[in-house]
Structures are given as structure tokens and as C-alpha cells.
Amino acid sequence: MLKQLRHAIRRARLRHYLMCPPTYFDVAYSINPWMDPSRPVDRALALRQWFGLVDIYRDRGHRVDLLEPVPGMPDIVFAANGATVVAGQALSARFANPQRTAEAEVHTAWHQRNGILYGGGEVREPIAVNEAEGDFAVLSKRILAGYGFRTTVEAHRELARLTDREVISLELVDPRLFHLDLALAVLDDARDHIAYYPDAFSQQSRQVLAELFPDALIANEHDAYAFGLNAVSDGLHVFIPCGAQQLRENLAAAGYWPISVDLSELIKGGGSVKCCTQEIRPAPIATRRVDSLPDEVASLISEDSAAHPAHQTTAGASS
């Protein structure tokens, strides 16, 4: 007799990611507790590890577009910080530290050129400081938003107006977990299932998370500091940094398929899997004005949709 599952059946959904190779990656300055300019960086190793992540995504059917790296921008590899795209609406980043300011223009230009392919409209220029998906976690109908170190609460309001979604503000209090994507991971954005490390948040924000997500997976300190929550999930597969062993076991017990990824060289810059991965969330098909576009553009969209059809993978237990 089959044992009754104690968790929901997990389903993968094909994703569209924007990433930037660490061609010019370096730790030449320190803007977070993980960065130590005195430690040497092995750029060749960083490139091998990063391309390994790209291959893992593509092997599972996900689309990965590449942003051109720029000399003098060593942190542009952390593409999640460059923009937030929700239902085809893009909000550019405005960085808190001057060392990264110029990256926002590179991301904005990419979305202005390519937004038509995901049903995007005008790319919104921010007024308040926001570090994009570093501090914005998108769920089915709501968005969790971090503040305390980088992104401001005013930016939360900007994102709410742009997306017409409820944005829930969460205060971060641990300087080592200075972005929300170091303290919390979205595991299933259809069912709003998350994992998080409670001590990364203020008491009030911990209460909010406990009330809204009673079934969340709770990470321990070791796994949080091993960047275990800086993970990416397609709903089934969870691409998780090496070293977060307990969280990996908890994910498997909850029906996910954890896939360990070694980005140890990039962690020297304060980021791992999620930091390297900006998700492009397209506009609903019904809202795309393909009929009003030039023939060559409409044809390109149709070809792209055929090449990347909706697809689900189902697993009732971990592998």
C-alpha cells in the first residue's frame, strides 16, 4: 500500500532567466560583510562555476538570456539586483552603493531592447533605492519586500503601484543577511510556499511571516550563513548552494528535488545562486498586443512561444 504523501505534489514550470557572466568579477572593494579585498579571486574558477549553473538551468528546460558583462562592473554578475519583472512590468534598480550605480543602466537598456519578447511595456525608472530581486520575492499574488540595509520602504510602494499587487514589508536585522534573498527563498510561487531564517528578521516581521506562512520551511543559522536560502526554485527543482545540508534534507522531505550548486568563488562577493539569477516573469498571454506589432516582431514572439511552450514536471517525492 502506498504511503499517503504529507506534502503537496510539486510541479516545475519553465522559467526565463537573465544572467551575466563573471568575466570581470573581482572583490576590489567591500560593501557587505562577505567581501574582503585582501582575499584573492580565481576568476577562471568563478566562470566555470557560473557556467555550470547556466548548464543546470538549461538542462532542465529553462531559458537563460545573457547580459553582456562590462569592464569596471565586477558585481554585475549578481543580475538579480538589476531589475524586477512581474507580469511583464519592469522596475529598474537604484543601487544603495555608488560602486554599483552604473549597473542599473545596463539592465534598463537590456529590458528596453528585449521587453517586447515577454510582453513588457515601458521600463519604469525608480525614484527610491531598490536592489530589485535582492529584496523583492514574488509570490502568486503578493510580493515580499525587504528593508533595513539596502532597499527602502518607499521602493516597496513604487513596486506596489507598478504591479497592482500587495507588497508586504519585512525588516532585515542581520548585516550578514543584508538582502531578503539571503534570508528567504520562494520555493513554490503558485502555492506561496517559502523557506526562511527567522533570526534574520525583526520580531514584528517574524510574527508576520509565521502568520502568513505557517507551513514554511525554517532554516538554521548554519544553512543561512552557507547561503542556503539564496536558492532558485522552479516549483520542483530547488537549485541550492552547497553546504546547506539540513535545508537540503528538509526540501527533499517536503517533496522538492534539491540540486546542489557550487558557487564558492562568487560567494566571496556576497552572492550565490539567486543573486546570479534575475527571473523574467512574462505578461499574461491575453494582455500581449501581438496583433498590433510589426509583422517581424509578432513572428519572433510566435516563434519564441513555440520554442518555449508551457510545461510542467510532476514529482510526488524527492529523488
DSSP letter assigned to residue 273: T
Amino acid at 166: E
What is the three-class DSSP state of 116? helix
Distinct helix (H) and strand (E) counts, the chain: 9, 17
| Residue 260, phi-psi category: left (phi > 0), alpha (psi -120 to 50), beta (remainder) | beta
**Catalytically active residues, by annotation:** 179, 275
Whole-angstrom distance, CA of residue 129 vs CA of residue 158: 10
Interior/surface letters 107-135, b for 16+ CB within 10 angstroms, e for the rest: bbebbeeebbbbbbeebbebeebbbbbbb
Whole-angstrom distance, CA of residue 69 vs CA of residue 75: 10
Q: What count of other Cβ atoms lies within 10 Å of the Cβ of residue 198?
A: 18
| Of 278, 235, 266, residue with least CA distance to 16 | 278
> Pairing mode, if any, of strands 89-92 and 83-86?
antiparallel
Whole-angstrom distance, CA of residue 72 vs CA of residue 49: 21
Amino acid at 77: V
| Of 5, 29, 25, residue with least CA distance to 97 | 29
